[in-house]
């Protein structure tokens, strides 16, 4: 049996665990003081999105359109035609599906600087249940031209990626966690959209993860190392544009990849990596993620265990490949 404790992360730097949506709210407030070239557009969930502090401090640059996501997308596009960055703020289910066509046609097609920033990614709104768990969002946006798609893993990564996103030219989709995540990255860690981060070099097998499940991947990596497996661990925070060079490099090295994502295993990180492997690389892989089903309400870690997305399952997959 798997020995991993639910909350045990040796690599934690000692910060209190926080939901990454908190980092989103905090960095907006910081950037509000630094620059005046962006608007934040909320859909009546500013409190939950942690944008209320920004709204109170910079009311002239905050718009709340009420429960009207499609309209929020269009308002963002209109602002973007004037040269502003439009931060459209909602939950991932609504940001990817309710406003999808508006973002696709009014933002991605004209390539405008609309940034869809969404909390409640994957199973992280665990107790909220299926209606609020976004398992399709990254895959949906991956199929829309022009838009970058990403999920940072922790508080500091989220702040850094939000800053990178503000200076990225074109539409972006970024998703955060509802529930708290351990902290892993140092402050001032540098992130480049489209460039994965090698967290540990290894020769036997590669684990490519992102978002909240990077923490499960870290736990699995530590366990595997203790058992003599030389794991290469990559944080692939951006699934589009995907860091193809890095995928090919690690594939040439280990020939074995496990992808790990808090998303349907269809069309997310795993599929993006599989596309490279199928067309340019040589090796074998396994995908860890939600297996094309809806989950349910429950504690986050229990859901990850039941739906075979946790560190134990990653280790099981690794054993299969080794």
100 binds another protein (CB under 8 A): no
84 binds another protein (CB under 8 A): yes
12 binds another protein (CB under 8 A): no
The interface mask with another protein, positions 116-155, x = CB under 8 A, is: ----------------------------------------
Please identify which residue in 76, 125, 171, 211 interacts with another protein, judged by CB under 8 A.
Answer: 76
Please identify which residue in 2, 53, 78, 130 interacts with another protein, judged by CB under 8 A.
Answer: 78
Please identify which residue in 28, 45, 46, 65 interacts with another protein, judged by CB under 8 A.
Answer: 65
Site for another protein in 241-280 (CB under 8 A): none
The b/e string for 241-264 (b: 16+ C-beta within 10 A; e otherwise) is ebbbebbbbbbebbbbbbbbbbbb
Q: How far is CA 86 from the centre of its chain?
A: 19
- How far apart, in whole angstroms, are the C-alpha atoms of residue 132 and residue 121? 9
63 binds another protein (CB under 8 A): yes
Q: Respond yes or no: is residue 69 known to be catalytic.
A: yes
* Residue (76 or 202) nearer to another protein, CB: 76
110 binds another protein (CB under 8 A): yes
Q: How far is CA 302 from the centre of its chain?
A: 20
Q: Give the orientation angle of helix 244-254 with respect to helix 269-279, to 10 degrees.
A: 70
- How far apart, in whole angstroms, are the C-alpha atoms of residue 130 and residue 135? 9
Please report how close the Cβ of residue 82 comes to another protein at its closest, in angstroms: 4
66 binds another protein (CB under 8 A): yes
User: What dihedral angle (degrees, nearest 10) is formed by the CA atoms of 97, 98, 101, 105?
Assistant: -110
Query: Cβ distance 209 to 260 under 8 Å?
Result: yes
CB atoms within 10 A of CB 319: 12
Using the rule CB under 8 A, give the single segment among 65-73, 131-139, 161-169, 285-293 that binds another protein. 65-73
How many residues touch another protein (CB under 8 A)?
Answer: 29
Q: Could you tell me the sign of the dihedral formed by the alpha carbons of 52, 54, 56, 62, in that order?
A: negative
Please report how close the Cβ of residue 181 comes to another protein at its closest, in angstroms: 33
The reply to whether omega before 241 is within 30° of 0 (cis) is yes
Task: Tell me which residue has tokens 């990564």.
Answer: 157
37 binds another protein (CB under 8 A): no
- How far apart, in whole angstroms, are the C-alpha atoms of residue 6 and residue 22? 22
Host H or E run for residue 12: none
Please report how close the Cβ of residue 41 comes to another protein at its closest, in angstroms: 8
Please report how close the Cβ of residue 163 comes to another protein at its closest, in angstroms: 22
Q: List the catalytic residue out of 30, 34, 56, 69.
A: 69
105 binds another protein (CB under 8 A): yes
71 binds another protein (CB under 8 A): yes
Please identify which residue in 15, 109, 248, 275 interacts with another protein, judged by CB under 8 A.
Answer: 109
How far apart, in Å, are the Cα atoms of 92 and each of 42, 55, 153, 308?
Answer: 13, 20, 16, 22
Using the rule CB under 8 A, give the single segment among 89-97, 98-106, 232-240, 305-313 that binds another protein. 98-106
Site for another protein in 176-215 (CB under 8 A): none
Please report how close the Cβ of residue 265 comes to another protein at its closest, in angstroms: 31
Query: Cβ distance 212 to 122 under 8 Å?
Result: yes
Residue 78's contacts (CB-CB under 8 Å, 6 or more residues apart) are none
Q: Which two tokens stand for residue 255?
A: 């020939």
73 binds another protein (CB under 8 A): yes
Binding site for another protein (CB under 8 A): 39, 60-61, 63, 65-66, 68, 70-82, 84, 86, 101-102, 105-106, 109-111
Point out the residues that are catalytic.
69
């Amino acid at each position: 049996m798997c020995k991993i404790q639910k909350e045990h992360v040796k690599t934690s730097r000692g910060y209190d665990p926080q939901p990454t949506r908190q980092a989103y709210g905090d960095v907006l407030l910081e950037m509000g003081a630094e620059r005046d070239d962006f608007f934040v557009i909320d859909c009546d969930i500013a409190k939950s999105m942690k944008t209320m502090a920004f709204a109170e401090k910079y009311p002239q640059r905050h718009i709340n359109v009420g429960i009207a996501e499609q309209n929020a997308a269009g308002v963002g596009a209109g602002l973007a035609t004037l040269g502003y960055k439009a931060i459209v703020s909602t939950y991932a289910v609504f940001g990817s599906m309710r406003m999808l066509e508006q973002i696709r046609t009014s933002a991605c097609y004209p390539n405008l600087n609309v940034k869809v920033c969404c909390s409640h990614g994957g199973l992280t709104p665990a107790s909220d249940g299926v209606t609020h768990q976004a398992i399709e969002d990254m895959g949906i946006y991956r199929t829309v031209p022009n838009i970058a798609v990403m999920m940072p893993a922790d508080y500091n990564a989220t702040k850094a990626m939000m800053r990178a996103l503000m200076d990225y030219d074109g539409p972006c989709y970024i998703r955060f966690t509802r529930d708290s995540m351990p902290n892993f990255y140092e402050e001032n860690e540098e992130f480049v959209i489209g460039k994965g981060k090698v967290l540990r070099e290894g020769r036997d097998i590669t684990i490519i993860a992102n978002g909240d499940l990077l923490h499960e991947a870290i736990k699995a990596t530590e366990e595997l190392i203790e058992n003599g497996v030389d794991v290469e661990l990559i944080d692939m925070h951006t699934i589009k544009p995907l860091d193809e060079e890095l995928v090919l490099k690690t594939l040439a090295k280990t020939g074995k990849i496990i992808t790990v994502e808090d998303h349907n295993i269809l069309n997310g990180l795993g599929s993006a990596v599989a596309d490279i492997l199928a067309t340019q690389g040589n090796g074998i892989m396994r995908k860890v993620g939600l297996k094309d089903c809806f989950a349910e309400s429950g504690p986050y870690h229990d859901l990850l265990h039941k739906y075979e997305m946790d560190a134990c399952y990653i280790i099981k997959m690794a054993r299969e490949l080794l």
